Structure 1
């Protein structure tokens, strides 16, 4: 409220009310139509794959994949589970995905904490270095990495060979190396939105750097960590390039190799392969459902700041 003094009297004048922002006509309808169309385009291939997986091979061979089904069966799922040895390869994927996700988030969060909470000369250089690592295609580094892997010896190995090549540790290491840069970029930007007063109060109370990082900053980063964990699980779990390149033993490869094993040299049972693809996708869907609230919060938090 503003007070205006005049020669006759003093009167109060309210400030003019802000006019609400005008939205373009039908903007809400167009956005909803766009979202629905994109959702349908994403769902149609999934529904068609499910439709094929529920049909017997004899039915699709006689009438085609785009015809109306004459019968349905769940035998493709059981056959894919046994013939593809999905449980064995699923354990291999767990051995690769879980350590890779945990180590990536741990290392990236420590780097992001230093870059975002402390002012040093090398902060910008470190951030640019980690971000620039994501600009190089992984295939470009295939030749030097393969040479390194065939010459590096480990103090121990699951296979007992002692080599980094053809080991689970090697695939975990390469995933951590390639995913850390992206996670540092995301977490550093997220940590910059946290109030600096929390760190200053902790320093006044005598908290160590580790306490500021582990007990104060990390609990506040749960939405961002959940979002990154969901993305990393999907990327690493579905990766087949590095497992195929850096592993020569087929039994050590992740579950994506099981899909390749179901493909014949001259003929492939697409019904069986579709059922296996759905089984393979279940763990990533379970992770997304479990972390859905944190995932959405991690993506939207900070969107209204500024």
Structure 2
């Protein structure tokens, strides 16, 4: 039923596996290594067609310095923070409450309400581009950070509710029943009994949503324009001039933009893994 562990395979299979593993890892890391190589190349290399060769002269940190001093990258980074952080807080807070309501209470239409939250995850987001853009225009939220935050909260709450509802249903029901017997109100049960037990799930979900929103490019381009509201993923395209693209600057900016999610993961790694594996072993 389950695959045989590698150590129990034949010696030839184990040696082939160990030999192919570094090759596959190198292929997986190749795009990232290429971006890192491009980020230290001078402009002359691209005008001379030296795309994949070694840099003719290493710019070192010069390209990274230009990213912050010769462009609006600091503003784009701040926009991403002002968009991502409120979205994570709003989506996680709403999903904790909806997950509690759908996971603890039994009422008519419970599954239908839960289905409505989940169904939104199966809608291809590309087909919503035009109506969502028109909606933000009609509401005066187009090209604003507030509009992008509200949109992301609305679309991420479905997945977050699915995550939280299933997590809460796995909690011991005896804890909630014991609190009710003691006369504790439902609000205090949620705040003092259920919410502390949800901390690993909240940490795991916060890391996931932070990564999703920070790396979003599609909706950042559809709903915003210009440095006043665009996040860093869309702002990197500002290095594309009319007649040429500054690939070295785009590569340096891409690596800078990728650092916050990586730092977020390593900072929350322990809680992230605990949240994903909690309940896997009884």
Q: Find the partner of 1:247 among 224, 235, 242.
A: 224
Decide whether the 8 Å contact of 1:76 with 1:275 is kept in 2: yes
The CA deviation string for residues 71-92 of structure 1, in whole angstroms up to 9 with x for no partner, is 3221010111222321111111
Look up the match of 1:231: 208
Look up the match of 1:6: none
Decide whether the 8 Å contact of 1:100 with 1:175 is kept in 2: yes
Look up the match of 2:165: 188
Decide whether the 8 Å contact of 1:84 with 1:259 is kept in 2: no
Tell me, what secondary structure is at the counterpart of 2:121? coil
The CA deviation string for residues 230-257 of structure 1, in whole angstroms up to 9 with x for no partner, is 1111111122322322234542211122
Does 2:86 correspond to 1:103? no
Aligned length: 275
Tell me, what secondary structure is at the counterpart of 2:122? coil
Unaligned runs of 5+ in 1: 1-20, 153-162
State which structure, 1 or 2, has the greater radius of gyration over its C-alpha atoms.
1
C-alpha deviation, 1:195, in angstroms? 0.7
Does 2:270 correspond to 1:284? no
The CA deviation string for residues 135-160 of structure 1, in whole angstroms up to 9 with x for no partner, is 111221222223322222xxxxxxxx
Worse-superposed segment, 71-80 or 35-44: 35-44
Does 2:253 correspond to 1:270? no
Decide whether the 8 Å contact of 2:75 with 2:227 is kept in 1: no
The CA deviation string for residues 191-239 of structure 1, in whole angstroms up to 9 with x for no partner, is 1111111111211222221221122212211222112111111111122
Decide whether the 8 Å contact of 1:53 with 1:76 is kept in 2: yes
Q: Which has the higher helix share?
A: 2
Q: Find the partner of 2:191 among 214, 221, 226.
A: 214
Instruction: Tell me which stretches of 4 or more aligned residues in structure 1 moved more than 6 Å.
Output: 30-35
Residues 1-306 of structure 1 correspond to what in structure 2 (within 5 A)?
Answer: 23=4, 25-26=8-9, 39-59=25-45, 61-62=47-48, 64-72=50-58, 73-152=60-139, 163-305=140-282
Unaligned runs of 5+ in 2: none
Aligned mates of 1:130, 1:233 — CA distance in 2? 20
